[in-house]
Amino acid sequence: MKILVVVDSINVNDSSGSKANVSLIHNLAKAGYEVLVYHYSRKNIQFQGVTCVSIKERKFSLFYLLSRSQREISRITKINFNSKIESIFGFSFTFFNDSNSIKEGLKKVQNFESDWVLTLSMASSFRPHKALLGLPEWHSKWLAYIHDPYPMHSYPRPYDWVEPGHQFKRDFFLEIIEKARYVLYPSKFLADWMQSYYHNQKGKEIIVPHQIAKETIDLSLLPTYFNLNYFNILHAGNMMSARNPIALIEAFEKFVEQTPKAKNHSKLYFIGSPSCFDEQIKEKQKMMPQLFLSKEYVPFQTVLAMQYLTSVNVILEALGPLSPFLPGKFTHCVQARKPILLLGPFFSESKRLLGNDYAYWSAIDDVDLIHSHINALYYLWLENKNHLIMDRPDLMYYLSEAHLQKTINELKP
């Protein structure tokens, strides 16, 4: 079976979405499919066993001229006109030019009669999907992958984003669901959530979770501040405004105060890009040397090594009634076989997969319960040290190329 994959970026250092997309591409190849990737990374990136073609940006078009003119005017005036433009047209000039560039690139596909055409999204970017809308000859075999809710006003509380031109974006998404043969989601809760907004999706939704890809762990990449002999609790990834880590920090502070013997060999790490919580964390650091905050972006392979060698991995979700997302790092945490401290709503895709009886779950703001979990994990660590593991063969299979192959093979043209 031949699968043409169309994707924004296959640069794993771009975002968690790119990492998840690359893992899916690798597992499609491992499952035995012939995979051709057309990507808009605008750099030459190649994977073993997969042909990757970098799509060039169109630089002789009206939208390119408009987007560059807008950028130059904004630079000079210090005024961002993008919101106004999106309110009128639904999308930025750059979005239109990028989508058209991808569309023109796909018209050059030769000698590859695909069985399926898979478009991969990345956060709120649906450029490949926009490109496919303009290629009706492929709609009957189009697999439209949806990474997150769309448009952004469809996010559940406490997220309250409303984008300019959101009605244009909703109409755009309705058309994607109408034209695609199947709509793929990484999460069952996300598929159900989007079904409540888009009733024309019914019968088209397929769950394809983020994939475990066999990664080579390079221990030489471990940073000097990460001590393998410590009881390490690691949160890796961005903290958006709704993912508040303060209760976790307070629970860890309580743990350190009430467990004096842990003070000299315990550490809580926050690794990721700067967030709105950085100043609060830095204030806590003045009184608690066991708290670590990275100063800048940390490369993916370094983070991956830390996730594999930490004592506990943290998944932090927003305080709200529902978290329909499957975090991209969920697969890395499962593969690392280290206990996951899951902090989020009761109705959460991560909790659904880990199971209702999973021991180390708490609401994000329950300091006492989080403290109890940290305390229990610490004493298990004292007994087992680096052998503290979470063995979940059921999840390893669910996130594997074998389950992916079963799902793809069951699709009906």
Is residue 31 scored above 80 in pLDDT?
yes
Residue 100 sits in the same domain as residue 123? yes
Residue type, 260: P
Is residue 124 scored above 90 in pLDDT?
no
**Residue 369: count of CB within 10 angstroms of its CB:** 16
Residue 291 sits in the same domain as residue 355? yes
Task: Give the rounded distance of the alpha carbon of 22 from its chain centre.
Answer: 11
Residue 272: strand, helix, or coil: coil
Which has the closest alpha carbon to 276: 249, 239, 247, 250?
Answer: 239
Residue type, 237: G
Provide the H-helix boundaries in 259-400. Answer: 278-287, 300-309, 330-336, 349-354, 367-384, 393-398
Sorted by sequence, the CB contacts under 8 Å of residue 114 that are 6+ apart come out as: 2, 3, 4, 36, 138, 141
Total number of domains constituting the chain: 2
User: What is the span of the domain harbouring residue 21?
Assistant: 2-208
pLDDT of residue 174: 95
Q: Per the domain annotation, does 257 fall within a domain?
A: yes
Residue 375 sits in the same domain as residue 227? yes
Mean pLDDT of the chain: 91
Residue 51 sits in the same domain as residue 178? yes
Per-residue pLDDT reduced to its tens digit, 211-251: 997 777 888 889 999 999 999 999 998 877 788 999 999 99
> What are the CA-CA distances from residue 378 to residues 53, 81, 259, 309, 361 (Å)?
48, 52, 10, 15, 15
Q: Per the domain annotation, does 398 fall within a domain?
A: no
Instruction: Please compute Rg for the chain using Cα positions.
Output: 22
H or E segment and range at residue 154 = none
CB-based contact 322:156 (threshold 8 Å) = yes
Categorize the per-residue pLDDT at 95 as very low, low, confident or very high, splitting at 50, 70 and 90: very high
Give the tokens for residue 51.
């042909």
Residue 315 sits in the same domain as residue 388? yes
Q: Per the domain annotation, does 151 fall within a domain?
A: yes
128 vs 40: CA distance, rounded Å: 9
Own/partner contacts of 239-244, CB < 8 Å, gap of 24 or more, are 239/270, 239/272, 239/275, 239/276, 239/277, 239/316, 240/275, 240/318, 241/275, 241/276, 242/158, 242/159, 242/318, 242/319, 242/320, 243/316, 243/317, 243/318, 243/364, 244/277, 244/319, 244/364, 244/365
Q: Per the domain annotation, does 194 fall within a domain?
A: yes
Residue 47 sits in the same domain as residue 148? yes
Q: Per the domain annotation, does 412 fall within a domain?
A: no
Categorize the per-residue pLDDT at 155 as very low, low, confident or very high, splitting at 50, 70 and 90: confident
> What are the CA-CA distances from residue 274 to residues 241, 251, 279, 290 (Å)?
11, 22, 10, 19
Maximum mean pLDDT: which of 10-19, 97-106, 117-126, 273-282: 97-106
Which has the closest alpha carbon to 17: 262, 186, 142?
Answer: 186
Percent of the chain exceeding pLDDT 90 equals 67
Per-residue pLDDT reduced to its tens digit, 170-207: 999 999 999 999 999 999 999 999 999 999 998 999 99
Residue 79 sits in the same domain as residue 193? yes
**Residue 299: count of CB within 10 angstroms of its CB:** 11
**Among the three residues 189, 208, 227, which one is the final residue of a domain in this structure?**
208
98: CATH: 3.40.50.2000
Cis peptide, bond prior to residue 151, ω within 30 of zero? yes
pLDDT of residue 131: 97
Give the tokens for residue 224.
């000097």
Categorize the per-residue pLDDT at 120 as very low, low, confident or very high, splitting at 50, 70 and 90: very high
Q: What is the DSSP letter of 283?
A: H
In degrees and rounded to multiples of 5, residue 383 shows phi and psi of -75, -35
| Mean pLDDT, range 275-301, rounded to an integer | 89
Residue 203 sits in the same domain as residue 133? yes
CB-based contact 324:190 (threshold 8 Å) = yes
Q: What is the pTM of this model?
A: 0.91
Residue 254 sits in the same domain as residue 368? yes
Residue 293 sits in the same domain as residue 314? yes
> What are the CA-CA distances from residue 386 to residues 206, 227, 228, 235, 402 (Å)?
38, 12, 8, 18, 29
144 vs 394: CA distance, rounded Å: 27
Residue type, 287: M
CB-based contact 212:26 (threshold 8 Å) = no
**Among the three residues 173, 208, 243, which one is the final residue of a domain in this structure?**
208
**Among the three residues 208, 242, 271, which one is the final residue of a domain in this structure?**
208
Q: Per the domain annotation, does 213 fall within a domain?
A: no
Task: Give the rounded distance of the alpha carbon of 107 from its chain centre.
Answer: 29
Residue 33 sits in the same domain as residue 118? yes
CB-based contact 396:335 (threshold 8 Å) = yes
Q: Per the domain annotation, does 399 fall within a domain?
A: no
42 vs 238: CA distance, rounded Å: 25
Residue 194 sits in the same domain as residue 241? no
Per-residue pLDDT reduced to its tens digit, 352-395: 999 999 999 999 999 999 999 999 999 999 998 766 789 999 99
pLDDT of residue 386: 62
pLDDT of residue 381: 94
| Mean pLDDT, range 275-304, rounded to an integer | 89
Give the tokens for residue 192.
């159900």
Categorize the per-residue pLDDT at 17 as very low, low, confident or very high, splitting at 50, 70 and 90: confident
Q: Per the domain annotation, does 57 fall within a domain?
A: yes
